[in-house]
Structure 1
Amino acid sequence: MNTIPARLDHIVVATPDLAATVAEFSRRTGVAPAPGGVHVGLGTRNHLVGLGHGAYLEIIGPDPEQPTPPQARPFGTDLLTSARTISWAISPPDLDATVAAARARGYDTGDVREMSRRRPDGTVLRWRLTDGGSPHPSGLVPFLIDWGATPHPSASDLPVVRLLELTATAPTPDEIHPVLTALGTGLTLTEGPAAFSFTVDTPNGPVTFD
């Protein structure tokens, strides 16, 4: 069984305390995530780790150097009390066509919108992604991303912990499989409370995060 989803772009770990979560990841794995950049106006910043397979891990949390934004911060970081794996993204070969195909099969990915962040060296990266639309209530269905002309984060000089598997539990896995198929991907699902789990190969041996 393939436990790495097709077209995986990145896994998102959201946290209310970015510095503490980055330090804990470093302690457990022996690998220090690299500063990614600032989401200007959204009140967040991130750190990144390569996962191999052309994918990466994003650890995102509130940016103490930005003012509190007027809207909620991305990925519900304002409501979290601890770090957790909150979402994942896939990168289809044609984002707009995949959105149209999913809608034709009854799943609304949400509209495509422009995003950006500023790297520590001042470079502004731009990409397009789906905004969630009417997301599946499980929270386990990925959003879609297209990096366009921007170099993919995994192609930069990131520290790497190779992804061994990404899996999830869901109250009714059979309801999620058709949506994943419509998006051209899959996810190993077993029955249980909605939650993610991923395991990476590290200098300290395999380490699992929830």
Structure 2
Amino acid sequence: MTVDHLVYATPDLRQTVADLERLLGVRAAVGGRHLGLGTRNHLLALGGRSYLEIVGPDPEQEAPAGPRWFRIDSLAAPALVNWAVAVTGIDAVTARARERGYDPGDPADMSRRTASGDLLSWRLTPPQRAGHDGLVPFLIDWGATRHPVESGLPAVELVSLRGAHPDPGAVRRDLAAVDVRLDLDEDSRPGLTAVLSGRYGPVTLT
């Protein structure tokens, strides 16, 4: 399984896109709105079939009935909150993970329109169920739909991705249940750290 995307959540999408452009020298492309969830996103390719999703509140939507995904409503600043791995046959992968002792949650159908009006459809396990403060990724299956990186996104390089947690062994066990490896450090504060390389050199997201 490969990294599908990293989730960089923010309470102020416009400002965060501008800040990343200043740091990386590349402006993220407009992605689309997640109707009913109260969010929208911008995207940067990371190499191969991986990308960075910058996601925040959509001021043109009414506030959703419940909290926005990715802890957006509680964030005081942008944060690398989660990541996704691409799978084929998400139902079978989910069932196998449960047999191994980790439950990613039930896959759900999702869709959004791109800035050009194309419809993207996919299935994913609930990001809010991702274990160990987002260190265990949620699963995403794009099926037959066109992957976002195939639209020619502006690109930077993903140099590294690693995590930290007070109990790395427990995280590794759940990662193994979904056939994923992640470099982990022992630390009292759990979280993800990604290093990206853009026009102006390396930038660290935490």
Could you say whether these structures have the same fold, taking a TM-score greater than 0.5 normalized by the shorter chain as the test? yes
Which of 154, 170, 174 pairs up with 1:179?
174
Structure 1 distance, partners of 2:109, 2:126, is: 10
C-alpha contact (below 8 Å) 1:111/1:132 kept by paired residues: no
Q: Give the structure 2 partner of residue 3 of structure 1.
A: none
Amino acid at match of 1:25: L
Aligned to 1:166: 161
* Secondary structure at 1:138 match in 2: helix
Structure 1 or 2: larger helix share? 2
Q: TM-score, normalised by structure 2?
A: 0.96
How many residue pairs were aligned? 205
CA deviation profile, 1:85-138 (whole Å, cap 9, x unmatched): 000000123211110110001111100101111211222211100015754243
| Residue in 2 that maps onto 1:42 | 37
In structure 2, what is the Cα distance between the partners aligned to 1:150 and 1:72? Answer: 28
Q: Which residue of 2 aligns with 1:204?
A: 200
Q: Provide the C-alpha distance between the structure 1 equivalents of 2:102 and 2:62, rounded to a whole number of angstroms.
A: 36
Picking from 46, 54, 58, the partner of 1:51 is 46
Cα distance between partner residues in 1 of 2:50 and 2:195: 14
Amino acid aligned to 1:171:
P
Question: CA 1:162–1:134 in structure 2 vs 1: closer, same or farther (change >3 Å)?
Answer: closer
| Closer, same or farther: CA 133–197 of 1 in aligned 2, 3 Å | closer
1:145-164 paired onto structure 2 within 5 Å: 145-164=140-159
Unaligned runs of 5+ in 1: 1-5
Task: State the SS of the aligned residue for 1:150.
Answer: coil
Measured in 1, the distance between the counterparts of 2:158 and 2:85 equals 15
- Quickly say closer, same or farther: Cα 1:134–1:51, change in 2 above 3 A: closer
**What do the CA deviations read for 1:19-67 (whole angstroms, capped 9, x no partner)?**
0100000000001000000101111000000000310000000001111
Structure 2 residues without counterparts, runs of 5 or longer: none
The aligned counterpart of 1:107 is: 102
Q: Which residues in structure 2 correspond to 1:56-205 (within 5 Å)?
A: 56-132=51-127, 134-192=129-187, 193-205=189-201
What's the TM-score once normalised by structure 1's chain length? 0.94
In 2 relative to 1, CA 60–134 (structure 1 residues): closer, same or farther, beyond 3 Å? closer
Q: Mean alpha-carbon deviation: is it higher for 13-22 or for 131-140?
A: 131-140
1: CA distance between counterparts of 2:42 and 2:129?
A: 28
Residue 155 of structure 1 aligns with an amino acid whose one-letter code is E
Bigger drift between 134-143 and 71-80 goes to 134-143
| Letter paired with 1:191 | E
Q: Distance in 2 between matches of 1:139 and 1:57?
A: 15
- Give me the whole-angstrom Cα distance separating, in 2, the residues matched to 1:121 and 1:133: 29
Q: CA RMSD in A?
A: 1.3
